[in-house]
Amino acid sequence: MNNILKVMLGATLLTSVAATAGKYPFPQNMASPHGYTVPFADTDMIKAHYSTWKGAWYDANQGWILSPEGTCSTVSEAIAYGMLITVYMDDETMFKKLYSTWKSNNASADGLGGMHWRIGCSGGTGSATDSDIDAALALVQASAQWSNSQYLSDAKSMINWIEQNDFNNTQLKPGSQWNDAFNPSYAGLANFKLFEKVSGKSSWSTHRSDVAKDLLACQNSKTGLVSDWCSWGSHQPTKTSASVAQTEDAGFFDDAARTPWRTAWAYYWYGDQDALSFNKKIANWLIPETKTASGINSGYYVNGEAELSDKRRFVSSTFSGGLGLAVSSLADDQSAKNYMETVYKVLANLTSCKTANGCGETDGGEKYYPSTLNLLYLLLMTGNMPNLYDMTGFTKFTPDPSLMRSSDSGVDGVQQKRGDTTVAISGFWNWGAYHDKYAETGTKMSPDSGSSPIFLRDGAYYADAVMEIGPEPKWTEDKAKVCKDTPAKCELKYPSAGIAMSFNKAESAVDLTKLGVKSLRITAKVEGPIRIALLNTATVEAGGEPGMFLKESSDYAVTLIDMTPDGFGTKDLDILDWVNVGKAPGGQEVLQTAKGLKFEVKDAKGGYGAISVKSVEFLDASGSVIDPSKITGIVISANPGATDPSNPGTVDPSNPGTVDPSNPGTVDPSNPGDIIGIVAGAVAAKSKIAVAGQQIQITAANNTAFAVFSMQGKVVASGKLAFGNASIAVPSKGVYMVRIGNKISKVNVK
């Protein structure tokens, strides 16, 4: 019995020393010396992702990461990725089992070379270069994490093997036994820089330079995209027998998607200038093209054309994270930081399947490849994949969730009462805020749904909102059927938030074609994916109105929108790709039934948006602004006329604050003024507005409130008519809005 206890105790002790406590436990939270490290990450979320991924794909009995989507085989890529992840998650027990698999299925007799690229039910011989360089780097990091000199010794042996077997002079081969073409996603510039330091051999600097030249030569000049495989001679897209995307023409697909991750890695760690050049070219195309990381399609051709087959039209960690990480190198660019926030949110909202069996069928999570890259991407961008071998330049920080953009910041200024016809943006007054009320979506907004988004700030009116929406639900035919048959059990609850402006209170249609509308000029400040859409009575599908995304801007910027009818909208406004074109009205009908505009945040995986509208102007063919009263039907005297100087009227002697009703004055017949549109409430009978030079003269009852606004909504003067009259000097000639009590008129100072 004592002997049995001794054996059990010995086994317990062996288990306890089998895994060493890491020198750099997760989370490391070390900001990289270069690039933008996301400062607000939720590291508990990363832990949860790791736990789910490990539960689905790790077979502890065999020391395998199951892939691709099977349970009877693994590939060297998966083992190397697993070694990298477990180093940074400080999981040496799992690391040891994975490394044992690597050594026991090795292309080198001593177990210190590359692993055969596939083992199990469908094996393969020879190594894959990307796996080789990642496993070697993982060993170097493991030596520092767990203070294990044997790992470092093994890494040095593997680095020498890689140099002898995975290179052909200046060319980085895709594997130890073949060299059909160059694979850009194998260009481990960070790996090679580390290998130079670890090995002490300057030849690795030459290798890094040679590989960088090939990588940059394969980039498309417009988009910066590279193909999965690139020909050695022309550096043009090509295909090989190893191409994962066999059904498409050569392009930026599953292999190539990892390339910006590798270049981001090289810039994060070493400030590699070739990596920076590579990433800048992609980022300059990517940000305006996709708006957010959830706008990234799962596959492109190198000219930027999205592959829109059903199997490619979805959001995945592979592409949203891989391409998105190119933006991380633009550390001083605020739009790049904002974009990186969307990359983080997409990756945070995408998780692995819970089990390998049924993944993608009964389990709606991500499969082996995207879920593994999800972790690698998150670790790198959040400061949890530092160079443990040489921590020079890395700085400790504490993640601060408050640094993420949030609707909690609110809107500056004094919120106005909804429906006040005297408070307008360029003459348009009927504004409202809206957002969904589903608990599941997590939507938040300021101002609240149903209230006015118009705020008075620095003497001017703006239509403002800050919004956060959650991720959209995953659509399935079965879920759609439930929603149709049993609405109370519907799971397809789509988040929404925005501000809308109706041309009139009845939300009735206005024929913009009869008014000669040719373009729409919006002056606004935009953050995040804000889409403007033309509301109309002809569109039957909710959210199916034609629109366009506004360009982000840190200050107020002008967007000119071509309103010429075209297709299902206008030259610049188009329907979203999910809209049923069989039900969508044509562009001419949309313009003939227009009823307003909306500005809303659109992000499939959830995100932040902010909008501040300064002016909304419909223009005719000459570029002149069309009087908004022709669209809204609200009062507006374009020219109230001038008072006849021979009979300006007399003051009522019994009340010097009012005009004598027996002689209110007459209109100058040479300038009688004219009324445009429908007069919705004239100025009070005892009120009078006149213009003299650059002065607006107001006469009304004592203590009547008044205000004079520029057409941009800025207050020129306001107060109460203490003695029944006021004379206001305006800064320049032009059109002004004058409010007396609750009535408004337009005055032209000529």
CATH classification of the domain holding 381: 1.50.10.10
Confidence of residue 551 (pLDDT cuts 50, 70, 90): very high
CATH classification of the domain holding 682: 2.60.40
351, 251: one domain:
yes
441, 459: one domain:
yes
Identify whether the C-beta of residue 330 lies closer than 8 Å to the C-beta of residue 260.
no
What's the start-to-end Cα distance of the chain, in Å?
110
266, 384: one domain:
yes
* Total domains present in the chain: 3
Structural domain contains residue 456: yes
167, 283: one domain:
yes
361 token code pair: 């069928």
The angle at the Cα of 249, spanning 243 to 250, to the nearest 5 degrees, equals 55
Identify whether the C-beta of residue 182 lies closer than 8 Å to the C-beta of residue 214.
yes
622, 607: one domain:
yes
Report, as an integer, the average pLDDT of 89-96.
98
Confidence of residue 292 (pLDDT cuts 50, 70, 90): very high
329 token code pair: 């190198």
- Among 403, 436, 457, the domain-final residue is 403
Under DSSP, is residue 544 helix (H, G, I), strand (E, B) or coil?
A: coil
Structural domain contains residue 741: yes
Which pLDDT score, from 0 to 100, does residue 245 have? 63
The proportion of the chain whose per-residue pLDDT surpasses 90, expressed as a percent, equals 67
Q: How far is CA 329 from the centre of its chain?
A: 17
Report, as an integer, the average pLDDT of 83-110.
98
Structural domain contains residue 11: no
- 625 HSE (CA, 13 A, CB side): 13
587 token code pair: 């562009």
283, 424: one domain:
no
373, 425: one domain:
no
Which pLDDT score, from 0 to 100, does residue 715 have? 78
Residue 706 has pLDDT above 50, yes or no: yes
587, 656: one domain:
no
pTM above 0.85, yes or no: no
Under DSSP, is residue 285 helix (H, G, I), strand (E, B) or coil?
A: helix
Residue 534 has pLDDT above 60, yes or no: yes
In this structure, which long-range contacts are made by residues 102-107, counting pairs with CB atoms below 8 Å and at least 24 apart in sequence?
102/76, 102/135, 107/165, 107/176
Residue 391 has pLDDT above 60, yes or no: yes
Structural domain contains residue 301: yes
Report, as an integer, the average pLDDT of 148-170.
98
What are 447-470's pLDDT values in tens digits? Answer: 999 999 999 999 899 999 999 988
Domain that includes residue 296, residue range? 25-403
209, 233: one domain:
yes
As a residue count, the chain comes to 750
Identify whether the C-beta of residue 255 lies closer than 8 Å to the C-beta of residue 185.
yes
Cis bond leading into 288, ω under 30°?
A: no
Q: For all residues of the chain together, what is the average pLDDT?
A: 88
Q: How far is CA 468 from the centre of its chain?
A: 12
142, 106: one domain:
yes
The residue type of 340 is M
Q: Which residues contact 131 (CB under 8 A, 6 or more apart)?
A: 75, 76, 77, 79, 80, 114, 115, 117
Q: CA–CA separation, 481 vs 364, rounded Å?
A: 18
Structural domain contains residue 172: yes
CA-wise closest residue to 564 among 627, 520, 499? 520
Report, as an integer, the average pLDDT of 369-378.
98
Residue 339 has pLDDT above 90, yes or no: yes
- Among 600, 628, 656, the domain-final residue is 628
Residue with tokens 């840190």: 554
Q: Which residues contact 353 (CB under 8 A, 6 or more apart)?
A: 56, 359, 360, 363, 364, 365, 366, 367, 371
Q: CA–CA separation, 77 vs 335, rounded Å?
A: 34
Structural domain contains residue 4: no
Print the SS3 string covering 114-164. Answer: CECCEEECCCECCCEHHHHHHHHHHHHHHHHHCCCHHHHHHHHHHHHHHHH
What are 563-604's pLDDT values in tens digits? Answer: 999 999 999 999 998 899 999 999 999 999 999 999 999 988
The angle at the Cα of 662, spanning 659 to 667, to the nearest 5 degrees, equals 70
What are 260-279's pLDDT values in tens digits? Answer: 999 999 999 999 999 999 99
Structural domain contains residue 9: no
Residue 660 has pLDDT above 80, yes or no: no
Structural domain contains residue 373: yes
H or E segment and range at residue 597: strand 594-601
Confidence of residue 666 (pLDDT cuts 50, 70, 90): very low
DSSP-derived pairing of the beta strands 64-65 and 73-75: unpaired
- Among 351, 386, 403, the domain-final residue is 403
336, 467: one domain:
no
Residue 326 has pLDDT above 60, yes or no: yes
CATH classification of the domain holding 594: 2.60.120.430
Sign of the torsion angle spanned by Cα atoms 682, 686, 691, 694: negative
Cis bond leading into 585, ω under 30°?
A: no
524, 613: one domain:
yes
